[in-house]
């Protein structure tokens, strides 16, 4: 495969991750909050297959996203001429986001396992698992904020795609920041809604970025005007 074909493959991986994430989010959009452990337990028990499928798709999305993150690092290193300005942060934030996405599914899948054996579950255990899931959403929001903001900054500098897509990335980052911070302080359904909005907006931005990158690979664009740390 030539450089153009590899770039298209990397862009398609981002689109695949975005689609998987969107399907995962809408399969299980608004489960009961951790303040309602009994309702949360019975919700999981009644929707076991859907909850598991949602967790599986989110995990696969995280794995596929790793390919896209590696692809972005390659593109940014080339655009920055080895200056290592945004590429390390984008790569680190992307890897962290992928791993946190996979880890965030563990409390939910544990609840599914507990729902198969009601006698082994307690209200406090369900509450703790639900809280762990809620707090993981906060970490996801902050990682989305870092990834979208740094990738957006590279776009605004014309190291990737177009500046307008970078400003869109800044907006996604701001939404993720608000959702991430408030999840540590504001309990209840607000956190679930804020996390859902963050996930959907991020998936739309990621999908749009991937489609445009596949349509016009970066190798076809003019070289970057300059590196961030050029002398």
Span 187-214, pLDDT tens digits: 667 778 888 899 999 999 999 999 988 8
Q: Where are the domains of the chain?
A: 3-219
Picking from 195, 188, 203, 109, the residue whose alpha carbon sits closest to that of residue 147 is 203
- Span 98-136, pLDDT tens digits: 999 999 889 888 888 887 776 666 777 777 888 888 888
Q: Which helix (H) or strand (E) holds 105?
A: none
How far apart are the C-alpha atoms of 198 and 8, rounded to whole Å?
A: 26
Mean pLDDT of the chain: 83
Does 94 score more than 90 pLDDT? Answer: yes
Cα atoms in the 13 Å half-sphere on the side-chain side of 134: 27
Q: Which residue has the higher pLDDT, 47 or 203?
A: 203
């Amino acid at each position: 495969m030539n450089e153009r074909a590899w770039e298209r493959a990397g862009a398609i991986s981002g689109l695949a991750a975005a689609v998987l994430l969107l399907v995962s989010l809408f399969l299980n959009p608004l489960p009961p909050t951790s303040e309602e452990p009994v309702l949360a337990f019975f919700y999981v028990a009644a929707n076991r297959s859907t909850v598991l499928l949602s967790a599986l798709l989110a995990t696969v999305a995280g794995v596929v996203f790793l390919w896209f993150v590696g692809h972005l690092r390659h593109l940014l290193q080339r655009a920055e001429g080895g200056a290592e300005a945004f590429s390390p942060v984008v790569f680190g934030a992307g890897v962290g986001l992928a791993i946190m996405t996979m880890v965030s599914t563990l409390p939910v899948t544990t609840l599914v396992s507990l729902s198969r054996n009601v006698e082994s579950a307690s209200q406090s255990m369900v509450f703790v698992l639900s809280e762990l899931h809620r707090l993981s959403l906060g970490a996801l929001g902050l990682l989305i904020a870092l990834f979208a903001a740094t990738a957006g900054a590279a776009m605004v500098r014309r190291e990737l795609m177009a500046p307008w897509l970078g400003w869109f990335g800044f907006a996604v980052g701001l939404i993720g920041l608000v959702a991430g911070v408030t999840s540590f302080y504001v309990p209840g359904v607000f956190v679930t809604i804020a996390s859902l909005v963050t996930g959907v907006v991020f998936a739309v931005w990621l999908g749009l970025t991937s489609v445009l990158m596949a349509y016009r690979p970066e190798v076809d664009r003019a070289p970057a005007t300059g590196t961030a740390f050029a002398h």
